[in-house]
């Protein structure tokens, strides 16, 4: 293994053929360009023997393509996103694309930084869960003819391709599960983010509550500029004044996590008597006592739809592919926490 980096020119010199020949062979165009089998073999053998790797930076510069797709979510550590990432990656690999993952923490500044970073590096496409304030950045990408597929949510006033679930319906059904479990005072803990998926979940909850002639009971935790301790204390305060409460529906994964922690520490709440439902599933929910019922998004299907659109855009680079919006249904996973509890009176 020699020091430094070998170039295609070095190989041409070593083998006494031109760089063109090398380039053709390495790009699998040997046959097509009628390079002799002997030369092809010579080139292949040699490049393999020295473990030559072409400089993709130069390739990218020359071709204008990077064969890289960016997958940007709130938090790649999140069970839901991590699983989805895997599905997308598998599909991409089959088409010779690599996928780079990153987390925007639902933060506009960070999203922008990441978009810039990858845009400047000429990635071929973006799959993004947009944070609230990056509408214009997305619009710019589209303007520059770069394929973008949003998911989980999108901007209603921006014409983009997107894959989302029917949040209103999913929340409606989940709330009804609690209602069917004979719970009467069902709180909904959500964020105050004015993102469409959050609004949808809230609407679904409200509709179910209304149709059952119950009272809505909503806590909206501000989602900006709060660390988890602050959020937790808001949830704690909310629970403290809820003597009647018998069930809780958490609208996001991290709120569920906070909520379970608080319920655990409050004397007047018994996690085994409370009805609990979470939006988005998590590996720990089945280990928890009681196990936690959850609304699970159809990961496989989402990944496939996202990539179908992305690959199409990538292929039709020049003529602008018409945008496409897909809405999928979520699934309710019933566990212990949403079942009818032991009567208490």
Partner DNA sequence: GTGAAAGCGCTAACAG
Partner DNA sequence: CTGTTAGCGCTTTCAC
Enumerate binding residues for DNA (CB under 7 A): 5, 7-9, 16-21, 23-24, 26-27, 29, 33-36, 39, 54-55, 58-59, 61-64
The SS3 assignment for 70 reads strand
Instruction: Round to whole Å and give the CA distance between 155 and 162.
Output: 9
- Which CB, 4 or 343, lies closer to a copy of itself? 4
What Rg value do the Cα atoms of the chain yield, rounded?
26
- Give the residue, chosen from 22, 25, 84, 102, that forms a contact with a copy of itself under the rule CB under 8 A: 102
Is residue 188 within 8 A of residue 280, CB to CB? The reply is no
CB of 145 to a copy of itself, least distance (A): 6
**Long-range Cβ contact pairs of 108-114 (< 8 A, separation 24 or more):** 108/132, 108/133, 108/134, 111/72, 111/137, 112/137, 114/70, 114/72
CB of 1 to a copy of itself, least distance (A): 5
Report what 46 binds from DNA, a copy of itself, none; CB cut-off 5-8 Å by kind.
none
49 is a site residue for a copy of itself (CB under 8 A) = no
With the C-alpha atoms ordered 105, 256, 281, 192, is the resulting torsion angle positive or negative? negative
Report what 180 binds from a copy of itself, DNA, none; CB cut-off 5-8 Å by kind.
none
Closest-CA residue to 299 (of 343, 268, 333, 266): 333
248-277 binders of a copy of itself (CB under 8 A): 257, 260-261, 264, 271
289 is a site residue for a copy of itself (CB under 8 A) = yes
C-beta neighbour count of 203 within 10 angstroms: 15
Report what 17 binds from a copy of itself, DNA, none; CB cut-off 5-8 Å by kind.
DNA
Residues that bind a copy of itself (CB under 8 A): 1, 3-5, 51, 53-58, 60-61, 66, 75-79, 82, 98, 100-102, 116-117, 119-122, 140, 143-145, 257, 260-261, 264, 271, 283-284, 286-289
């Amino acid at each position: 293994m020699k020091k430094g980096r070998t170039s295609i020119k070095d190989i041409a010199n070593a083998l006494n053929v031109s760089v063109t020949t090398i380039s053709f062979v390495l790009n699998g165009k040997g046959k097509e360009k009628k390079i002799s089998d002997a030369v092809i073999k010579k080139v292949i053998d040699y490049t393999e023997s020295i473990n030559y790797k072409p400089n993709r930076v130069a390739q990218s510069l020359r071709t204008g393509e990077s064969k890289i797709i960016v997958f940007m979510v709130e938090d790649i550590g999140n069970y839901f996103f991590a699983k989805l990432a895997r599905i997308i990656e598998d599909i991409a690999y089959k088409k010779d694309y690599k996928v780079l993952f990153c987390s925007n923490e639902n933060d506009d500044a960070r999203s922008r930084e990441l978009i810039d970073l990858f845009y400047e590096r000429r990635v071929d496409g973006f799959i993004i869960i947009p944070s609230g304030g990056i509408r214009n950045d997305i619009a710019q990408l589209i303007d520059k003819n770069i394929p973008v597929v949003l998911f989980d949510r999108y901007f209603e006033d921006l014409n983009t391709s997107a894959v989302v679930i029917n949040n209103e319906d999913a929340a409606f059904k989940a709330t009804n599960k609690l209602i069917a479990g004979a719970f009467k005072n069902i709180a909904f803990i959500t964020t105050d983010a004015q993102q469409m998926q959050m609004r949808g979940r809230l609407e679904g909850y409200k509709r179910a509550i209304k149709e059952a002639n119950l009272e809505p009971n909503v806590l909206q935790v501000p989602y900006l500029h709060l660390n988890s301790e602050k959020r937790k204390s808001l949830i704690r305060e909310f629970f403290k004044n809820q003597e009647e409460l018998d069930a809780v529906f958490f609208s996001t994964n991290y709120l569920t996590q906070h909520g379970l922690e608080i319920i655990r520490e409050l004397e007047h709440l018994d996690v085994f008597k409370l009805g609990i439902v979470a939006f988005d599933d998590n590996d720990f929910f089945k280990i928890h006592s009681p196990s936690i019922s959850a609304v699970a998004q159809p990961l496989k299907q989402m990944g496939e739809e996202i990539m179908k659109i992305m690959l199409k855009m990538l292929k039709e680079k020049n003529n602008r592919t018409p945008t496409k919006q897909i809405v999928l249904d979520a699934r309710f996973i019933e566990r212990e926490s949403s079942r009818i509890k032991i009567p208490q009176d």
